[in-house]
Amino acid sequence: MSGYRLTTVETVREEGSWAFTAREGDEDREVFLVPCADEPGEADDSVDPPVRAWINRCTHEDQRLHREGIGAVTRGGSVVCPKHGSAFDSCEGSCDNGEAAGTTLRSIDVDVRDGAVFLTDDDLTYLYEGLPDDDGDDEGPASSSHLTF
């Protein structure tokens, strides 16, 4: 099995999330990795793969879930939308609360071998680590969530 080596499982666990930009057709896609575990920093090696990759957009509104310098907000095994507070299961991508209830994040295929995470999604070509500059059009969320971080 081939694929582009992205980072390590240890790095994703230590940082809480890790992002990269890839190309799909003629579009750039933001993708982030999160540990598949109940709590940040927790290692669950029984889960295969121990990290998951998701397109970096809330399903309710075009809002980044992972932001440069902050990462993805995770709580209790979920990735939390910073705008509306919808919580997406880190392992499954599904949401059962808030504005995004009943939706699922778009997954990206990754594989873990010897502690390294590889991009194996045939539709994506790795471009670079991190996210593109937002050119000021993604000022951050004007939160309407009842959650406090």
Q: Is the per-residue pLDDT at 69 higher than 60?
A: yes
CATH architecture of 4-129: 3-layer Sandwich (2.102)
pLDDT in tens, 102-127: 999 999 999 999 999 999 999 999 99
Question: Residue 89, SS3?
Answer: strand
Q: pTM score, two decimals?
A: 0.85
State both tokens at 143. Answer: 């939160």
Contact between 76 and 38 (Cβ < 8 Å): yes
How many angstroms separate the Cα of 147 from the Cα of each of 46, 75, 85, 86?
31, 11, 6, 10
Q: Predicted confidence band at 95 (pLDDT cuts at 50, 70, 90)? A: very high
The pLDDT value recorded for residue 129 is 97
How many angstroms separate the Cα of 53 from the Cα of each of 5, 12, 21, 148?
13, 11, 12, 25
pLDDT in tens, 20-49: 999 999 999 999 999 996 554 455 556 678
Contact between 39 and 54 (Cβ < 8 Å): no
pLDDT in tens, 3-19: 999 999 999 999 999 99
Chain mean pLDDT for the chain: 87
Distance CA 59, CA 56 (A): 10
The pLDDT value recorded for residue 100 is 94
pLDDT in tens, 70-87: 999 999 999 999 998 999
Work out whether the CA dihedral 59, 61, 65, 68 comes out positive or negative: positive
